[in-house]
A and B are shown apart, each in its own frame.
Chain A
Amino acid sequence: MAHREAGVRETERANARVFLIGLCVFLALMLGFPTLANLWYSFSNVSIYDLAGTAFVGFANYVQAVGNPNMWAALGFSLKFAVICTVLEVGLGLAMVFILHPILTKRPWLTGILMLPMMVSPALMGVMYRLILNEFTGIVPAYLSMMGLPINLLGRNWIYETVIAIEVLQWTPFAFLIMLTARQSVAGELEEAAAVDGATGAKFGRLIALPVILPSIIIVAFIRFIDSFRVFDHIFVLTGGGPGNETTSISIYIYKLFFTQSKIGEAVAVSVMLLIASLALLYAALRLAVRRAPA
């Protein structure tokens, strides 16, 4: 009997390996090759006119990248942007989970409506807000003006808050959806038992629901942080990274280095450094999530 089970397991393992081959080949082609090519470019003097004809320059691109104050400014913008957006998106999403969960249990179709903002592509979101916030054609400035608040949300004084608000408006539904799924995993019987023991309302949320949702909060915070950190589309469409470099994220910085300044080696060096930082963060977040997960 034991022999037979061991045989079945061995066959399953063999099948699994066969099925994994396709995925491994796909990953090697789609991720492995570009990663290796980028690593090589980051140590090379490379030109757009001859991507194959590179010359090894050691760490010169990395030294140049680290010595450029504009890179640190872009990195600072992205970090600040990512932290603020993550806190707001997770905070608002969590609040929405607790407020809307009873309603959505009875009317689940409402969830679909709440998801609409994240179905719009970020670049299109930028184009939309170019129109919505425009002083002459936009609906928001028109209403603000009617209320005696002639604020230019795309003006220099408000542009930082505006790009954050657009990101938060678009991606809070994502944070909400992940955390709502975790909240819905709390069994009805558990809620009833907790109620019998006197844990209702905020007490239930704090002592029962929140610990269950916590791993999801960590994961969603991590995903949103990474996503906000690499923000590109809507900022680029709205401001082009300006005025000056004031809204230049690290992704926009890399893009400009690569395309407009043709500093391909330096651009790739910055992206490799970011990849390493992201992997470190991913490792830390996964460790934290696993540790916090209920047994």
Chain B
Amino acid sequence: MMRTSRLIAAAGAAVLSAALSTAALADITILAWPGGPAEAALRKVVDKYNETSDSKAELLYFSRDNFFDKMLADAAAGSKEFDVMLTATYNVGKYAPFMVPINDLITDDVMKVFPQSAIDSQAYEGKVYGIPTDLSLHFLYYRTDLIDELLSNDDWKAKYGEISEKYMGTKMEPKKPDDWTWDDFMASALFFTQSINPDSPVRYGTVLQMKNLLFNIMIWQGSAASYGGNWMDADGNITVDSDAYRKALDIFKKITEWEATPGDSNSYEYAEANGAFGTGQVAFFIQWSAAYAEFVNADDYPAIAGKFDITHEPAGSEGPKTHFHALGLGINKASDKQDEAKAFLAFLASQDAMSLYAKEGGQPPVVEDIIKAVAGDRPDMLKMGEHTGKYGIVMNGSTAAPALGVYSNMAENFTAYWNGALDQDTAIANVVAYMKEAYGK
């Protein structure tokens, strides 16, 4: 009897001990940005974490379509299905009420991994909500074989001048993409469009992404910024109704009217634009930095293998500019596993984890030393760091809670203008009215 009791007690203790140890080392779920190099790289980092940690991390992915809306619904419902969640520069203010500040994680060691600007990209009202994982900005992707030919072939040069004079009223000469203004961008788009220049080896000069989608406005707004455009001035006045915005809007409008972009560009986003350039039928385009890691894969894109390069966006009167933001990972306020989530974020913010993440195709906004260390595998990372510093812009007011709504409203009205459904004055007036209401002006 005594022996049986002891056995039961021992078994009970073992079960209790196992249960306690499980509770102490609970597994966590990470809701992260799906698809592309970011997902592939994070999977490697999580594998590494799981090798070394007693608490295991599992990745959860929604589809990319309206990712943030789905996450918002879950967060507002107090979901505990994920412990670590996504943050982004342009909506950190919107999600901050559903997240836990992690200022205590930003130690001196972490500051040796990330520059201050990267940490700031995850902050709202003085509190840090995420560890930055992916820097996103825009490059001009161009076909080196076509541009080299344009710069060296006299017949092509003459035709270029002829076409630019006919459509733009000025006889222009071709330039290297590094020196392009938006006029050069437009003239080159005309030249490489077969319906305008039947001798062009590609079907279209460029491909614009004009689906009614907020991310497409981020791609376009570098042009507005290059002419000095901003959402607001220093006093908080809405400044969208400006020459800068009108000029930038007209760049897309004219290219659309000239049919120098595919006729169904009004339904294009990231994937379609990549498809157009990747099939070798477009000479150049503005695209997210993430596309570089995809295009270098010759198996996926044989038509452009070894035949493309990247540079900064064309210049306006204020020089070249690019929108940039950072995605990151932070802690779900509703999670019961705050300590485990913090442990994972601390690992993620380490130099080893970020080096691995960069090497596997991620685009972490890390310090120059780390970038140089992985530059052999990731030459685009050098340009990302350089471009962010030199040309990066964050529109005033674009990290506040209403920012996503503003981007969506711009997408609605500006795509309508580009496609002839609204005139420019009405499109701008609609955006200004929305912004005044959203920001309480």
Contact = CB atoms under 8 A, between A and B. Distances in A.
Interface of A: 48-49, 51, 130, 133-137, 152-156, 159, 236-246, 256, 259-262
Interface residues of B, number: 40
Contacts, number: 104
Interface string B430-441: 000000001000
B400 to A, nearest CB: 12
B421 A135 contact: no
B243 interface: no
A261 B433 CA distance: 13
A262 B405 contact: yes
A242 B210 CA distance: 9
A152 B261 CA distance: 12
A164 to B, nearest CB: 15
Contacts of A236: 65
Contacts of A245: 212, 412, 416, 421
10 contacts: A135-B276, A136-B281, A137-B279, A239-B267, A242-B210, A242-B211, A242-B419, A243-B416, A259-B73, A262-B405
Contacts of B222: none
Contact of B266 (A130, A137, A242, A262): A242
Interface of B: 65-66, 69, 72-73, 76, 97, 210-214, 262-264, 266-267, 271-272, 275-276, 279, 281, 402, 404-405, 408-409, 411-413, 415-422, 438
Nearest to B211: A240
B404 to A, nearest CB: 6
Contact of B97 (A49, A159, A238, A244): A49
Given A243-B415, A244-B415, 12 more contacts: A133-B264, A136-B262, A136-B276, A156-B420, A242-B416, A243-B418, A244-B212, A244-B419, A245-B212, A245-B416, A259-B73, A262-B405
B266 A154 contact: yes
Contact of A135 (B65, B264, B271, B405): B264
B425 to A, nearest CB: 14
A262 B262 CA distance: 34
Looking at A133, A152, A159, A238, the one whose CB has the most chain B CB atoms below 10 A away is A152
A237 B63 CA distance: 12
B279 A136 contact: yes
A259 B73 CA distance: 9
Interface of A is mostly: loop
Interface centre among B97, B271, B409, B415 (most CB of A within 10 A): B415
Contacts of B262: 135-136, 152
A60 to B, nearest CB: 14
Contacts of A240: 211-213, 411
Contacts of B418: 243
A156 B409 CA distance: 19
Nearest to B75: A48
Given A134-B272, A136-B281, A154-B267, A237 B65 contact: yes
A190 B115 CA distance: 84
B267 A159 contact: yes
A261 B408 contact: yes
Contacts of B213: 240
Nearest to A246: B421
Contacts of B73: 259
A255 to B, nearest CB: 8
Nearest to A258: B69
A134 B273 CA distance: 10
Contact of A152 (B212, B263, B420): B263
B76 A244 contact: no
Nearest to A141: B264
Given A135-B264, A242-B416, A130 B272 contact: yes
A137 B210 contact: no
Nearest to A123: B65
Contacts of B409: 260-261
